[in-house]
Chain A
């Protein structure tokens, strides 16, 4: 029998980016909030030590800050005809663990999805006709651009994003991204200092008639005090950023932007190393009444709450809903059910150039540092004569020269022995790359559910991922690779190699921790698990916040939009829900 604790106004599952934002906003509104976090407490001064954070083996290879598969694994298969097997080590993507979540070791790319993403079905149907998107489960997200824009602004000012606006209230700004949707004001901080490779890329792209701009970064170009009064430092371009925590208070995370304020509030409480097993519903299944968790001593505890906010990583949010029977499992055969629907990923390809006698100094880098063109992004270009929809940002970003992983050699070079050594020496400082990060659009057969065979350490079923790159996205990515091919020409490199995406998503090599969907927001309870405020249609005192709410994934890193959705949901809760608890949208 679980020990039952006194009731709280709100129980938050997971204290990463979304949990911290929700906790901050709800405690400001006067609610008593408890956050229950599976992993450990982590903070800059003790855990992200500047004296030993630059350890590629420990953090990038042995993944010291990441979720261990022994704690929670997932199974995967490419199609429903295959038997899913567990990813015994995470490879293709790397979920976070502990306070701050994946926001501790992210790169810091802070994009806004476009207005045309939030209205994607309406937009594409109006422009090309309904036949163009047949076979894709594209659907509108719910909020209008005017509704959601202030939430993007709030997240960017919280993080101190370094960038250059391209469109302020409809006015195109020189040096920014002319394709972005209108923003209400400039970024809080100017762009980062640019390394050689990105500068060269921008120069060549401008010659080709494209529109390069500094990619928006939550690594800070200068010292900054955010609206909560939290002070951050200038990035030192150390090249130990993604997969690492920042020892320099220069990368936005819950630790560097919110926790110094949140943790001091008397109406906030955090319980670490406590793993939530499930959300408990009332007997009729219409309301959540509590969560059950196992604390660090193995004791089962029940925490009642008026509201439950599921704020774990996107994939874990979906699993928590399924384990708790919140909503109905999506069925890819009938298309019925919503939880697990519209799981999407990211569709990427890269170009690698090699020169002679250059000094690119790849070790001078940051998680989010470089130049991008959005000339082939989303629906920013005409698709009427193309056999796909969607697109990709093309970026030349310089993250690191960490040598266990990052030591490119000329095509066809040996992988070991004497020839390998010379090729490695020749390649290390002479190489640069740029790549397309493409959209991932939903199809009926890509989905999430619970695995019938494999279980976690508590005996609960693992999440099962059934995914392959849809034909539409492969066509998109291959078209982008053709553009990359053309873009390599003006560099006059000694070697240029462009990758092409193929079907058969492989869970082993790292690709992207941009897993989206499965508990999506929308306007229709038949096709979305959540309404446009990220509130469960089925259990209205449950909100599910994260990239799990994305109805599709765009060709951009998701965190900017995740942060915006967190502020958006928080606003709905504090201005609407707590005044009149219940469904905020009536279907």
Chain B
């Protein structure tokens, strides 16, 4: 049974392999002539992240980032906190993936300290910047307050974050990667988590969209464009129709 079954599988495999140049050719460079190529299932829909656990952060890093996003987006009557909306999960998944590894970026040397108009010129990937930055942040708070960042009172955390934002605190980082760079990276990624589609791990229950009245992944506003100065009547939807 086993042999015949695996024989069948093998035949299936060969049959599908033979069909490959026609059916799945869009995945590969090739010559196209006389037709418009089309093959079923060749789209690339996004995959919702698993909401559980940490893929990139160590437990200490995760707790630190959760504390940071809780202060960047604090809970109030407008929305739950950045932490409760999943911003730390979002950042973790981004850093574990192609963004964290700088897959898109030009990463060849030589690395030189550039002018402000030349953009980030450091050698570290986004993942590497978080790893170094979070360590340096806890080193700073331990020197100044004898505590990890996450253990500080909310007001102290705000003081430290303001210090990073306004370059009043200089963390021990690397040439080409300033404290201000690190703060801006965290702020940008936190806002991404709060406002991106929930499938990426943040914006839980579309809380970010509900806060401002963004209807999300809707597609057709022809019925409302000429209703000037009138509120849009429908709430948000996400790509998978999920609240997150």
Contacts and interface: CB of A to CB of B under 8 A. Distances in A.
Interface stretch (B39-47, B58-66, B137-145): B39-47
Given A56-B196, A88-B106, A417-B158, A50 B219 contact: yes
A237 interface: yes
Contacts of A364: 221, 224-225, 232
B15 interface: no
A270 B34 contact: no
Interface stretch (B6-14, B25-33, B127-135, B167-175): B25-33
A87 B220 CA distance: 37
Contacts of A236: 219-222
Interface in A490-542: 504-508
A382 to B, nearest CB: 35
A359 interface: yes
A50 B45 CA distance: 10
Given A56-B196, A85-B114, A238-B218, A194 B226 contact: yes
B112 interface: yes
Contacts of B196: 56-57, 61, 404
A424 B29 contact: no
Interface string A342-358: 00000000000000001
Contacts of A85: 112, 114-115, 118, 121
Given A69-B105, A401-B214, A421-B73, A269 B31 contact: yes
A47 B43 contact: yes
Interface string A32-55: 000000001101011101111011
Contact of B105 (A41, A88, A421, A428): A88
Contacts of B119: 87-89, 91, 507-508
Contacts of B235: none
Interface stretch (A104-112, A258-266, A318-326): A258-266
A93 interface: no
B29 A52 contact: no
B225 A416 contact: no
B37 interface: yes
Contact of B30 (A63, A271, A358): A271
Nearest to B97: A62
A498 B220 CA distance: 32
Contacts of B76: 418, 421
A58 to B, nearest CB: 6
Nearest to B90: A57
Nearest to B112: A85
A83 interface: yes
A196 interface: yes
Contacts of B230: 359
Interface stretch (A73-81, A212-220, A327-335): A73-81
Q: Counting chain B CB atoms within 10 Å of each CB, which of A58, A88, A260 scores highest?
A: A88
A70 B104 contact: yes
A415 interface: yes
B105 A51 contact: no
B145 to A, nearest CB: 20
B72 interface: yes
A404 B195 contact: yes
B55 interface: no
A296 B30 contact: yes
B106 to A, nearest CB: 4
A46 B79 contact: no
Interface string A242-282: 00000110000000000110011110111111100000000
A89 B105 contact: yes
B84 interface: no
Given A57-B192, A76-B118, A506-B117, A239 B221 contact: yes
Interface string B218-241: 111110111011111000000100
A416 B30 CA distance: 49
A455 B165 CA distance: 35
B221 A272 contact: no
B32 A41 contact: yes
A576 interface: no
Given A43-B38, A52-B46, A236-B221, A403 B212 contact: yes
B185 interface: no
Nearest to B158: A417
A78 B106 contact: no
Interface in A370-428: 401-404, 407, 415-418, 421-422, 424-425, 428
B17 interface: no
B43 A266 contact: no
A464 to B, nearest CB: 12
Contact of B99 (A62, A68, A193, A263): A62
Contacts of B224: 361, 364
Contacts of B45: 49, 51-52
A297 B28 CA distance: 9
A181 interface: no
Interface string B164-187: 010000000000000000000001
B198 to A, nearest CB: 11
A542 B26 CA distance: 30
A438 interface: no
Contacts of B20: none
A428 B228 contact: no
Given A76-B118, A236-B220, A508-B117, A271 B105 contact: no
B2 interface: no
A226 interface: no
B51 to A, nearest CB: 16
Nearest to A74: B106
Contact of B106 (A55, A69, A363, A407): A69
Nearest to A364: B221
Contacts of B21: none
B191 interface: yes
A193 B117 contact: no
B226 A89 contact: no
B156 interface: no
B197 A56 contact: yes
A199 interface: yes
Contacts of B220: 236-238
A238 B231 contact: no
B208 A403 contact: yes
B72 A417 contact: yes
Interface string B84-122: 000000000000001100011111101010111111110
Given A364-B225, A454-B108, 6 more contacts: A56-B196, A194-B226, A358-B229, A360-B229, A425-B78, A429-B213
Interface of B: 26, 28-39, 42-46, 71-74, 76, 78-79, 98-99, 103-108, 110, 112, 114-121, 158, 161, 165, 187, 190-192, 195-197, 200, 208-209, 211-222, 224-226, 228-232, 239
17 contacts: A41-B26, A45-B38, A52-B239, A57-B192, A70-B104, A82-B115, A247-B219, A269-B33, A415-B187, A416-B71, A416-B73, A417-B71, A417-B158, A424-B212, A425-B211, A454-B106, A507-B119
Interface of A: 40-41, 43, 45-47, 49-52, 54-58, 61-63, 68-70, 73, 76-78, 82-83, 85-89, 91, 193-196, 199, 234, 236-239, 247-248, 259-260, 263-266, 268-274, 295-297, 358-361, 363-364, 401-404, 407, 415-418, 421-422, 424-425, 428-429, 453-455, 504-508
- Sorted nearest first, the 7 A-B pairs with minimum C-beta distance are A296-B29, A273-B29, A73-B106, A69-B106, A196-B228, A57-B196, A54-B217
